[in-house]
A and B are shown apart, each in its own frame.
Chain A
Amino acid sequence: MTHLEIQNISKSFGENEVLDQLNFSVHQGEFVSLLGPSGSGKSTLFGIIGGMILPNSGDVILNGESIKGKRGSISYTPQTPSLLPWRTILNNVLLGQELTGKKDREKALQMIDRAGLKSYENSYPHELSGGMKQRVSFIRSVLSPQSLILLDEPFSALDEFTRTDMQKWLLDMWEQTKRSILFVTHNIEEAVFLSDRVIILSPRPASVLKEFQVPFERPRREELLLSDEFLQFKKEIYQEMRHAQV
């Protein structure tokens, strides 16, 4: 079943064409990654899906309804954790529910516990490390009432090992909650390791270059990252992207 559908979205700012006839979809419970070079207009696309920017043409369909220009239809995990510094972790996690739904402290505490942040619920964000803050930010999205989660390069500021840990953690959380996720990154390995499907965007103006169904079984383990099949698959995507650059 299709959860989110991007239909022929085009957007330009003056002369500057950013998105050109973009088409793709995310199915219910699916983990989809958008992979594109830096500056391929992914923040514009997220702005459009989030209802902050109106496209020149095309439509955004969520659960069969257009959400073009409607804010708050999706749950969002931004690139920086964006936690409110004056709120405790518990109250930060509840923010999404507070804005558009009902607060459920029990469930929030349970999620904090499951994220390995037990005993931190009454701490303030500045007391947490970068990886922990990013986890809090993701829990906030999971607890938000909207069904689809947008992740905007959430691990780009983390070091390699924290990053791998966070990816495994994210997969774990996703397998437990089975939410649909649209994940943006420019790291090929990350996209392949996490996703059911990888969508390659072309350089500006962005359109869908190719889609790859990721063949690896779940649950995925860290060993997969160094296996031959994985590297082969990564190479294939790399060449595709390299090709488009020239």
Chain B
Amino acid sequence: MMNALWKQGWRPALVLILLFIVWETSVSMFDIPAWLLPSPTQIIEVGITDWPGYSHHVWATIQLIIVGFLIGSGTGIVVAIALHLVPFLRQATYPLIILSQNIPVIVLAPLLVVWFGFGMLPKIIVITLVCFFPIAIALLDGFRQTDRDLMHYMQMAGATRQQLFWKLEWPHALPSLFSGLKISATYSVMGAVISEWLGASRGIGYYMTLASSSYRTDRVFVAIIIIVALSLLFFLLINWLEKMTIRWRSSGEGGSSDAS
């Protein structure tokens, strides 16, 4: 496992290291001021020494992401199931849901602050809005792509609507659900940071705005690194959950459950 990672990963890793070396040398060679572009070593130094000063911001953001992600994906799953089981609902709202995605959530955020203030609620709403869509669409597609032969067999065998759903459609859509969850996991980190920019008293987004308004570019970079790390962490967590849940997939060939 680690071996395979190393075999495939050494090339991009090499490129990254080269990039950092170029960055580091150019900063010192051209004498670029730290407020404009700090060098990688400076950023790492600040990241370590400042940790006690910003760690509570990181925890606040993690909390927000988890709560927002759970509520957002829960809503996405419930909505997808409802739309799937009630065809009228789907026909009536599916086009509207697609259309609504042309509204960038970021432009709604100030409005949410006006309506709900600076507390948790508007932030959770922002994360819910960004999480909801990929999950609902992926899950609906998963339901719709249910294998026709399997469906035919289940019906011939006398399965009720409920049995069809829980024994066939739901497990069949799980791989799709997880691809939606993976997208939403990274979106929810973005949603959390954006909502903190707009008004918060803690969180990594708040730390970032503070840093940029006082020209502490090194701290802005620290914030960026933490956000990237959080995104990656959540993605890997969902990936791990997927591996734990979906053990039936053949690794070599893409079975019918591999669709989408």
Contacts and interface: CB of A to CB of B under 8 A. Distances in A.
Interface of A: 46, 50-52, 71-76, 78, 80, 82, 84-87, 95-96, 98-100, 124, 126-127, 144
B25 interface: no
A126 B253 contact: yes
A85 B147 CA distance: 11
A99 B168 CA distance: 12
B167 to A, nearest CB: 7
A6 B153 CA distance: 21
Contact of B154 (A80, A99, A124, A126): A99
Contacts of A80: 149
A82 B149 CA distance: 6
25 contacts: A46-B156, A51-B158, A52-B156, A71-B155, A71-B156, A72-B159, A76-B153, A76-B156, A76-B157, A82-B149, A82-B152, A82-B153, A84-B150, A84-B167, A84-B168, A85-B249, A85-B255, A85-B257, A87-B248, A99-B159, A99-B167, A100-B157, A100-B158, A124-B248, A126-B255
B246 interface: yes
A92 to B, nearest CB: 11
B171 interface: yes
A72 B155 CA distance: 7
A101 to B, nearest CB: 10
Contact of B157 (A85, A126, A144): A144
Contacts of A87: 248
B150 A50 contact: no
Contacts of B246: 86
B250 interface: yes
B55 interface: no
Interface in B135-171: 147, 149-150, 152-159, 163, 167-168, 171
B158 A86 contact: no
A99 B248 contact: no
B255 A78 contact: no
Contact of A95 (B167, B248, B253): B167
Given A71-B156, A78-B149, A124-B250, 16 more contacts: A50-B156, A51-B156, A71-B158, A72-B159, A73-B158, A82-B150, A85-B249, A85-B257, A86-B257, A96-B157, A98-B167, A99-B159, A99-B163, A99-B167, A126-B248, A144-B157
Contacts of A51: 156, 158
B101 interface: no
Contact of B156 (A78, A124, A126): A78
B256 interface: yes
